[in-house]
Amino acid sequence: MMHIAWLGKKSPFCGNVTYGLSTTEALRQRGHAVSFIHFDTPTPSLGRPEAGAGELDPPGGPEANPEVALPYLVKSQVYTIPSPGAQRELRESLERLRPDLVHASLTLSPLDFRLPDLCQQLGLPLVATFHPPFDAGLRNLTAGTQQLTYQLYAPSLAKFDRVIVFSELQAEVLVRLGVRRERLAVIPNGVDTDTWAPAAPGREPDLAQLRLRVGGRRVFLYMGRVATEKNVEALLKAWRLVRPQGCVLVIVGDGPLRSSLQSGTESDVIWWGYEASRARRVALLQLAEVFLLPSLVEGLSLALLEAMACGTACVATDAGADGEVLEGGAGIVISTQGVTTQLRTLLPVLRDQPVLTAELGRRARQRALERYTLTGNIDALERLYGELSPQPVAV
Closest CA to 148 of 163, 130, 162, 134: 134
pLDDT of residue 140: 60
30 exposure class (CB count in 10 Å sphere: 0-12, 13-18, 19+): middle
Strands in 290-293's sheet, in edge-to-edge order, are 269-273, 247-252, 218-223, 290-293, 313-317, 332-334
Closest CA to 277 of 201, 204, 210: 210
The per-residue pLDDT for 199 is 92
Q: Which domains does the chain have, with CATH numbers?
A: 3-190+373-388 (3.40.50.2000), 204-371 (3.40.50.2000)
H helices then E strands: how many in the chain? 15, 15
Q: How far apart are CA 110 and CA 79, in angstroms?
A: 9
249-266 pLDDT, tens digit per residue, is 999 999 999 999 998 789
Q: Report whether 60 contacts 91 (CB < 8 A).
A: no
Q: Which residue(s) pair with 273 in the sheet?
A: 252
Distance of alpha carbon 37 from its chain centroid, rounded? 19
Those residues whose C-beta lies under 8 Å from the C-beta of residue 216, and which sit 6 or more positions away, are none
Tell me the C-alpha distance between 249 and 291, whole Å. Answer: 10
Predicted confidence at residue 63, as pLDDT, reads 54
Residues of the chain with pLDDT under 50: 45-59, 62, 393-395
Q: HSE, CB side, 13 Å, CA atoms: give it for residue 47.
A: 8
pLDDT of 41 = 74
